[in-house]
Amino acid sequence: MTNLPTPGLRPANPNFSSGPCSKRPGWSVEALKDAPLGRSHRARIGKAKLAQAIDLTREILQVPADYRIGIVPASDTGAVEMALWSLLGQRGVDMLAWESFGAGWITDVVKQLKLPDVRRIEAPYGELPDLAQVDFDRDVVFTWNGTTSGVRVPNADFISADRAGLTICDATSAAFAQRLDFAKLDVVTFSWQKALGSEGAHGMLILSPRAVERLETYVPAWPLPKIFRMTKGGKLIEGIFKGETINTPSMLAVEDYLDALNWAKAIGGLDTLVARADANAAVIDRFVQGSAWLGHLATDPATRSNTSVCLSITDAEVAALDQDGQAAFAKGLAAALDKEGVAYDIGHYRDAPPGLRIWCGATVETADLKALMPWLDWAFANQKASLKKAV
């Protein structure tokens, strides 16, 4: 690589990973000193911590009082799988996908559950599918924010208020950064390690009264593993939604999630979290608007994510390379920034088009993104010079 002069300012925090995401500003391990380590999660203190996590989640996300909130194993993936395996099969289902994780849910429903009546409504990376095609007399499964494409639904207006089916929403990179219209959502899932930057391994499952009714009146045709079971004798196991988890949670991770929730509450709750993410995404958008070599993967500004911002390399010489060459160029950019210690883990997702992916959630400081932007130009200029030498 050609050694061009480096920018003078460096991000104070170079963590821009899209998951696990950056810890909150000012975080240190001291924040976890009150974790009840070595104690049972079923002890009074353990139950109290888990219940507090549920209560603060409800308060900050503004979840309706009659919706259940449960802490479940296996991160957002576990929460989504619990919903798919427990709720689907009563009626046809529309599966929406426009990036890797939505496509993964289609695979589970078609190849694992083997449901007979599945409609796939898909779009390529950078676009949303035609949401007018969705039939809400059927169950509907979709991601609110496509983490690997940077494309999100702008709102829930496309969802019918008098739907007959359930809406199951993977909101793992939207929660705490985008406003979720719970009146239109029957199942909402997310993980702790995304928008609030907490530790991994645990997921959240939020159920509407309609989803609870389905659980209590419908029995799937397939056996359910213990880890997925949310009913007993035709009734919801209410303890799951009061902090009595299905399996043993990490009380260290619980303490970290509580720390993030309390930070979110202290800075102003959801309004401030959304505003911070919007301000962060705006820094990148302004840079892209003035760039001769970088563009948004999301084609429509109304659908661009304010968390997982995905960028494509529009430079003509790079675009003329084959797919492997473009991928190598993009990986070279990310590697150069990593080596300099100014941006970690910002390469494109393995199944996504070549480019960069920069997390802009509320735990990232706007000043760090501003400091990062000149480094993108630096890395590109170096890579481009190396490319010309190779040619």
10-residue averages of pLDDT along the chain (391 residues): 84 98 98 98 97 98 98 97 98 98 97 98 98 98 98 98 98 98 98 96 97 98 96 97 96 98 98 98 98 98 98 96 96 98 97 97 98 98 85 57
Over residues 261-314, the pLDDT tens digits come to 999 999 999 999 999 999 999 999 999 999 999 999 999 999 999 999 999 999
Helix (H, G, I), strand (E, B) or coil at 317: helix
* 318 Cβ neighbours under 8 A, 6+ residues apart: 293, 325, 326, 329, 384, 387
Could you tell me which residues are beta bridge partners of residue 143?
Answer: 170
The confidence score (pLDDT) of residue 391 equals 57
The confidence score (pLDDT) of residue 289 equals 98
Q: What are phi and psi of 162, to 5 degrees?
A: -105, 40
By DSSP bridging, strand 167-170 and strand 187-191 are parallel
State the alpha helices, DSSP H only, in the chain.
44-61, 75-87, 100-107, 209-217, 251-266, 270-289, 316-319, 323-340, 366-390
What does the alpha-carbon distance between residue 326 and residue 314 come to, in Å, rounded to a whole number? 10
- Angle at which helices 251-266 and 44-61 cross, to 10°: 40
Over residues 51-70, the pLDDT tens digits come to 999 999 999 999 999 999 99
Structural domains in the chain, sorted by start: 29-266 (3.40.640.10), 270-390 (3.90.1150.10)
Q: What is the pTM of this model?
A: 0.97
The confidence score (pLDDT) of residue 110 equals 98
Consecutive H or E run containing 313: strand 308-313
